């Protein structure tokens, strides 16, 4: 194809005198067909495809977590299934699947055969959450479709969440309120709820006595014992100081024990009273169950709920999840201690990693003479980021807990030994271990940020007669701050979701106390704590009932991701504010 | 128009003497970046209160010479210096001289405006902050005086608390001049202060330099020969690290004594 447009096929040139001369193109013919290779078209497509796959995986993962996590607490209808043998099963549908039936799955070979053949040898089964673990030793049941005679959704069936044994599904027959029997038509769901409200206040009072008041007496008893032990260690058993202290100790423990007796008897009285309020329940097969009303945490009729009632159940379940302590080997109740532990640990870690990382990077970049040694250190720092996190856990346990913590115990808490105070895993050691794990990220990001500060600004400051330190303090660091924040965000995201090293340095399945409470010194860095990441592991792989744990795994994962997301968003907002301040104008 | 450039170490001098005497003496000054020599035995005197321009083609060492005066070159690794440079008879490169104190008597303005990412007022008072001045009254006075000195006061007096990065390029450069004179220096070093600016902003800076003449001794590096001709009293022409000719600006531009200078100022090369 010949192209005769001037300027394309021909070249217009001007000689030194300015006369335009036209030269016939002697070069090769130019192709006007698209050259895909030259335009890099296949390359662009593969880039797009790679991005699409990445985005798809992330979106898919987040959608899975969101879908399952958000739906978990929604009250589902209860179906009552009548089986061929006359048994009934009540429960909410978890999922259905097709499977290859064996002979033992087929109740009546003759009639079932046709349907199974129609389905190409496959049959269908559904998993129901039946609850009533105390009655049947099972709270999930597979129901085979061809065993089912009939299926219906009774309006009055009750779903009762309890403190123990998981949910109860069935109906209420009568209620015993301290001898006053209510049954038949007089027994309504509203009446039950009212009785439950009263019972809850009794339960909370018992909880308060046992967990707050008696716990505080125990705290003071322990304190008195430690004071005595301290005197013993300092002056010996035979010394007059010890004898005087012993007298004091005896007097103190006597009053405390008297208080304890008083509280214990108050609790016993309330418990005695509480046991007179019971409800008689019956499951769909007529099996009876008597339950103290105070054991009930929530009850509703799932097949007869208006939209607002449904929403109320849903929200109250979330509220319980976010604010309560876990029960039943963590498969029920809430995760408040884990949220609190994760948050405290992440904040402490950020506080630990930020100064170390920034100071190290400042020295490396600004002061150290750039040579082989500095390069070597830089390589080591980068390699540190690739060390398996469990190795950090072992190091944290060995160095922080045993060596550092052990020494602190010897020096400051000798009276508590052999019980370790700082000498075992705890919040402080876990935070420091994670700080160590994430410090390479902060160092690398800070070095990059420092390198990105324009040389002209440093020169401008130096030319004003500022020293190097003043220049760093007033010009370089503020300008590098957004970049440093980015490093810190990455470090926080990495640290908050790390589990493996934590299992060695202070995370436990169930922490009896929060790291912050009302006893001096209020913040207890030495205490072990709960962590959402470990909670997920524990629920998913260590719990008795894996089927019951699945929804909790999703909800906890959702919560952990949300928490990390929220912390990141907060830091990003701070960073963007800084950026706006430093990066506007003409350059 | 008779001397030859082939003679290695001969510089032709015909400088205009200021009424306030000589401020700086540079004698036999040599400078190496690592192994390559950038300045060859430069000898020159800078007159107090006058504007001295350094001209020459790219890479001739004029910026290097300027940055040697306030020892900004100290930041560069592998720098070697031989020779002497004195200001008020004090050796700049003596081991007892405090670099920081030295830089405080020399304000510097750079090629690209480099205001700090802080408010206009804070930019101007930065040299005072460095000195530890905290007195609000003094700081406010300095801001007004320096901004008026840099002919920027009228434009920014209502937004002193705003970020300096919001100013236009020309305003930013005048702010940098204000910053340079806020510390009350004796010398102003300007490294191609107008190369990043448009003609209007350039004209303003040139007027400003003219206004500052006499108050400060100004050394200006420029690529723009008209600018050198307009603003300077003395002009030094450098070529390949050597000082070729140093003298009265009017003579350099109309009737230079060295052929090489003539070729450069008439645009034959460079």
Domain ranges of chain A: 2-30, 336-584
Average pLDDT over residues A101-109: 61
Q: Is A438 helix (H, G, I), strand (E, B) or coil?
A: helix
| Predicted confidence (pLDDT) per residue in B68-94, tens digit | 998 888 878 888 999 999 988 888 888
ipTM: 0.88
Query: Cα(B181)–Cα(B105) distance, rounded to whole angstroms?
Result: 10
Tell me the pLDDT band of A585, cut-offs 50, 70 and 90: very low
Burial of A55-77, coded b for 16+ CB within 10 Å and e otherwise, reads eeeeeeeeeebeebbeebbebee
Q: How far B26 CA sits from the closest chain A CA (Å)? A: 20
Q: How far A464 CA sits from the closest chain B CA (Å)? A: 5
Chain A residues with beta carbon closer than 8 angstroms to that of B179: 460, 464
| The two structure tokens encoding residue A446 | 């800070």
Of the candidates A536, A481, A76, the one whose C-alpha atom is nearest the C-alpha of residue A326 is A536
Chain B residues with beta carbon closer than 8 angstroms to that of A479: 117
CB contact under 8 A, A475 and B107: no
Q: How far A472 CA sits from the closest chain B CA (Å)? A: 12
Tell me the pLDDT band of A358, cut-offs 50, 70 and 90: very high
- Optimal mutation site among B165, B173, B187, interface A, most CBs of chain A within 10 A: B165
Chain A residues with beta carbon closer than 8 angstroms to that of B100: 465-467
Residue with more model confidence, B2 or A119:
A119
Average pLDDT over residues A43-61: 94
Q: What is the pLDDT of residue A219?
A: 85
Q: Is B170 on the interface with A (CB under 8 A)?
A: no
Chain B residues with beta carbon closer than 8 angstroms to that of A460: 108, 110, 114-116, 176, 179
Average pLDDT over residues A195-219: 86
Q: What is the pLDDT of residue B170?
A: 87
Write the residue in B112, B130, B165 that is nearest to A465 by C-beta: B130
Q: What is the pLDDT of residue A542?
A: 83
Question: Which of A269-273, A439-443, A545-549, B255-259 is predicted least confidently?
Answer: A545-549
Question: Chain A: which residues have CB within 8 Å of chain B?
Answer: 370, 454, 456-457, 459-467, 470, 474-475, 478-479, 581-587
Write the residue in B103, B179, B180 that is nearest to A462 by C-beta: B103
Closest residue of A to B123, CA-based?
A461
CB contact under 8 A, A479 and B172: no
Q: What is the pLDDT of residue A102?
A: 67
Q: How far A573 CA sits from the closest chain B CA (Å)? A: 19
Q: What is the pLDDT of residue B96?
A: 86
Q: How far B46 CA sits from the closest chain A CA (Å)? A: 20
Closest residue of B to A457, CA-based?
B114
Tell me the pLDDT band of B2, cut-offs 50, 70 and 90: very low
Q: How many residues does chain A have?
A: 587
Q: Is the pLDDT of residue B6 over 80?
A: no
CB contact under 8 A, A456 and B112: yes
- Optimal mutation site among B130, B174, B192, interface A, most CBs of chain A within 10 A: B130
Query: Cα(B236)–Cα(B65) distance, rounded to whole angstroms?
Result: 11
Closest residue of A to B183, CA-based?
A464
Residue with more model confidence, B110 or A586:
B110
Write the residue in A454, A461, A584 that is nearest to B166 by C-beta: A584
Tell me the pLDDT band of A3, cut-offs 50, 70 and 90: very low
Tell me the pLDDT band of A447, cut-offs 50, 70 and 90: very high
Note the helical H segments in A106-188: 109-118, 133-136
* Unique residue bearing structure tokens 């030495």: A526
Query: Cα(A511)–Cα(A497) distance, rounded to whole angstroms?
Result: 19
Q: What is the pLDDT of residue B5?
A: 43
Q: What is the pLDDT of residue A27?
A: 58
Q: Is the pLDDT of residue B161 over 50?
A: yes
Q: Are B218 and B188 within 8 A, CB to CB? A: yes
Q: Is the pLDDT of residue A423 over 70?
A: yes
Q: Whole-prediction pTM value?
A: 0.78
Average pLDDT over residues A392-401: 91
Average pLDDT over residues A31-48: 80
- Mean pLDDT over each residue of chain A, to the nearest integer: 84
Q: Which residues lie across from B213 on neighbouring strands?
A: B216
Q: How many CB atoms lie within 10 A of CB B160?
A: 18
Q: What is the pLDDT of residue A103?
A: 61
Assign domain A336-584 to its CATH superfamily.
Answer: MetI-like (1.10.3720.10)
Average pLDDT over residues A493-500: 85
Q: Is B199 on the interface with A (CB under 8 A)?
A: no
Chain B residues with beta carbon closer than 8 angstroms to that of A454: 114
Average pLDDT over residues A294-312: 89
Q: Is the pLDDT of residue A17 over 60?
A: no
Average pLDDT over residues A49-67: 95
CB contact under 8 A, B107 and A470: no
Query: Cα(A529)–Cα(A347) distance, rounded to whole angstroms?
Result: 14
Query: Cα(B76)–Cα(A370) distance, rounded to whole angstroms?
Result: 12
Q: What is the pLDDT of residue B65?
A: 92
- Phi, psi for B201 (deg, rounded to 5): -65, -40
Q: Is the pLDDT of residue A70 over 60?
A: yes
Q: How far B256 CA sits from the closest chain A CA (Å)? A: 30
CB contact under 8 A, A586 and B165: yes
* Unique residue bearing structure tokens 């500095």: A374
Q: How many CB atoms lie within 10 A of CB B24?
A: 21
- Phi, psi for A322 (deg, rounded to 5): -85, -20
Q: Rounded to a whole number, what is the largest CA-CA distance in chain A?
A: 122
| The two structure tokens encoding residue A37 | 């290779």
Of A3-7, A152-156, A572-576, where does the model show the most confidence? Answer: A152-156
CB contact under 8 A, B103 and A586: no
Q: Is the pLDDT of residue A120 over 80?
A: no
CB contact under 8 A, A581 and B163: yes
- Optimal mutation site among A368, A459, A460, A472, interface B, most CBs of chain B within 10 A: A460
Chain B residues with beta carbon closer than 8 angstroms to that of A459: 72, 75, 108, 110, 114
Average pLDDT over residues A393-409: 89
Q: How far A581 CA sits from the closest chain B CA (Å)? A: 7
Q: What is the pLDDT of residue A191?
A: 85
Query: Cα(B16)–Cα(B18) distance, rounded to whole angstroms?
Result: 6
Write the residue in B117, B126, B164 that is nearest to A464 by C-beta: B126
Q: Which residues lie across from B177 on neighbouring strands?
A: none
Q: Is B74 on the interface with A (CB under 8 A)?
A: no
Residue with more model confidence, A189 or A472:
A472
Q: How far B13 CA sits from the closest chain A CA (Å)? A: 30
Q: Is B70 on the interface with A (CB under 8 A)?
A: yes
Q: Are A384 and A439 within 8 A, CB to CB? A: yes
Of the candidates A349, A366, A331, the one whose C-alpha atom is nearest the C-alpha of residue A453 is A366
Q: What is the pLDDT of residue A216?
A: 87
Closest residue of B to A367, CA-based?
B75
| Predicted confidence (pLDDT) per residue in A464-473, tens digit | 888 889 999 8
Write the residue in A454, A466, A586 that is nearest to B130 by C-beta: A466
Question: Which of A168-172, B9-13, B79-83 is predicted least confidently?
Answer: B9-13
CB contact under 8 A, B116 and A583: no
Pairing of the two strands A277-282 and A168-177: antiparallel
Please give the share of chain A, as a percent, with pLDDT higher than 90.
20
Question: Which of A2-16, A23-37, A461-475 is predicted least confidently?
Answer: A2-16
Q: Is B180 on the interface with A (CB under 8 A)?
A: yes
> What would you report as the CA-atom Rg of chain A, rounded to the nearest whole angstrom?
35
Q: Is B234 on the interface with A (CB under 8 A)?
A: no
Q: Is the pLDDT of residue A391 over 70?
A: yes
Of the candidates A587, A481, A581, A464, the one whose C-alpha atom is nearest the C-alpha of residue B163 is A581
Residue with more model confidence, A234 or B5:
A234
Average pLDDT over residues B24-30: 91
Pairing of the two strands B90-91 and B79-87: antiparallel
Q: Is the pLDDT of residue A117 over 80?
A: no
Closest residue of B to A581, CA-based?
B117
């Amino acid at each position: 194809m010949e192209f005769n447009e001037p300027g394309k096929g021909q070249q217009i040139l001007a000689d030194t005198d300015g006369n335009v001369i036209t030269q016939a193109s002697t070069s090769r013919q130019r192709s006007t067909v698209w050259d895909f290779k030259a335009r890099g078209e296949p390359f662009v497509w593969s880039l797009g495809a790679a991005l699409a796959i990445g985005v798809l995986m992330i979106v898919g993962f987040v959608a899975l977590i969101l879908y399952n996590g958000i739906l978990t607490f929604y009250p589902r209808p209860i179906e009552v299934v009548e089986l061929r043998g006359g048994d009934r099963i009540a429960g909410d549908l978890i999922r259905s699947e097709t499977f290859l039936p064996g002979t033992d799955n087929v109740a009546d070979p003759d009639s079932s055969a046709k349907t199974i053949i129609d389905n190409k040898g496959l049959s269908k089964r559904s998993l129901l959450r039946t609850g009533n673990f105390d009655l049947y030793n099972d709270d999930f049941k597979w129901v085979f479709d061809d065993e089912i005679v009939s299926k219906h959704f009774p309006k009055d069936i009750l779903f009762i969440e309890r403190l123990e044994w998981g949910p109860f599904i069935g109906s209420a027959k009568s209620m015993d309120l301290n001898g006053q029997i209510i049954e038949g038509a007089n027994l309504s769901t509203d009446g039950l709820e009212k009785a439950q409200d009263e019972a809850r206040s009794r339960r909370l009072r018992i909880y308060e006595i046992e967990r707050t008041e008696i716990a505080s007496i125990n705290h003071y008893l322990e304190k008195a014992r430690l004071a005595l032990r301290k005197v013993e260690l300092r002056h010996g058993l035979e010394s007059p100081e010890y004898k005087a202290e012993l007298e004091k100790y005896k007097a103190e423990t006597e009053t405390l024990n008297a208080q304890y007796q008083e509280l214990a008897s108050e609790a016993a009285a309330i418990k005695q009273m509480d046991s007179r309020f019971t409800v008689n329940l019956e499951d769909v097969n007529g099996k009876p169950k008597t339950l103290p009303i105070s054991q009930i945490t929530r009850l509703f009729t799932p097949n007869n709920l208006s939209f607002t009632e449904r929403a109320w159940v849903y929200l109250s379940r979330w509220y319980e999840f976010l604010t309560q302590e876990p029960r039943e080997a963590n498969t029920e109740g809430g995760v408040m201690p884990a949220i609190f532990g994760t948050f405290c640990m992440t904040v402490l870690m950020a506080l630990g990693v930020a100064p170390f990382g920034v100071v190290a990077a400042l020295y490396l970049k600004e002061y150290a003479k750039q040579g082989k040694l500095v390069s070597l250190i830089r390589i080591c720092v980068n390699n540190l980021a690739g060390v398996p996190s469990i190795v950090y856990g072992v190091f944290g346990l060995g160095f922080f807990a045993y060596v550092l913590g052990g020494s602190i115990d010897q020096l400051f808490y000798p009276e508590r030994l052999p019980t370790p105070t700082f000498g075992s895993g705890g919040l402080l050691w876990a935070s420091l271990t994670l700080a160590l794990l994430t410090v390479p990220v902060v160092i690398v990001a800070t070095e990059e940020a420092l390198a990105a500060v324009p040389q002209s600004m440093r020169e401008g400051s130096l030319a004003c007669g500022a020293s190097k330190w003043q220049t760093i303090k007033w010009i370089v660091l503020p300008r590098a701050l957004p970049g440093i924040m980015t490093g810190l965000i990455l470090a926080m995201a990495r640290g908050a979701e790390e589990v493996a090293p934590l299992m060695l340095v202070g995370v436990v399945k169930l922490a009896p106390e929060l790291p912050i409470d009302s006893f001096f010194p209020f913040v207890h860095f030495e205490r072990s704590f709960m962590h959402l990441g470990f909670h997920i592991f524990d629920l998913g792989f260590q719990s008795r009932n894996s089927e019951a744990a699945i929804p909790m795994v999703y909800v906890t994962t959702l919560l952990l991701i949300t928490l990390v997301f929220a912390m990141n968003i907060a830091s990003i907002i701070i960073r963007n504010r800084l950026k706006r301040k430093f990066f506007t104008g003409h350059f | 128009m008779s001397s030859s450039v082939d003679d290695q170490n001969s510089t032709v001098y015909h400088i205009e003497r200021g009424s306030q005497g000589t401020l700086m003496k540079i004698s036999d000054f040599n400078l190496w970046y690592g192994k390559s020599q950038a300045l060859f035995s430069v000898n020159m005197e800078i007159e107090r209160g006058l504007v001295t321009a350094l001209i020459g083609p790219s890479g001739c060492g004029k910026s290097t010479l300027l940055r040697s005066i306030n020892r900004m070159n100290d930041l560069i690794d592998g720098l070697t210096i031989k020779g002497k440079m004195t200001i008020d008879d004090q050796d700049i490169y003596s081991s007892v001289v405090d670099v920081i104190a030295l830089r405080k008597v020399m304000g510097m303005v750079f090629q690209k405006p480099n205001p700090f990412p802080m408010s206009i007022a804070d930019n101007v008072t930065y040299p005072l902050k460095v000195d530890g001045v905290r007195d609000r009254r003094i700081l406010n006075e300095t801001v007004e005086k320096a901004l008026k000195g840099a002919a920027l006061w009228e434009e920014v007096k209502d937004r002193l608390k705003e970020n300096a990065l919001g100013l236009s390029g020309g305003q930013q450069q005048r702010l940098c001049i204000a910053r340079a004179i806020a510390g009350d220096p004796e010398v102003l070093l300007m490294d191609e202060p107008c190369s990043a600016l448009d003609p209007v902003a350039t004209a303003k800076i040139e007027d400003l330099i003219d206004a500052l003449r006499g108050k400060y001794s100004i050394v200006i590096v420029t690529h723009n020969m008209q600018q050198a001709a307009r603003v300077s009293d003395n002009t030094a022409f450098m070529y390949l690290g050597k000082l070729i000719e140093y003298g009265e600006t009017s003579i350099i531009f109309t009737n230079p004594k060295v052929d090489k200078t003539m070729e450069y100022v008439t645009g034959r090369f460079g």
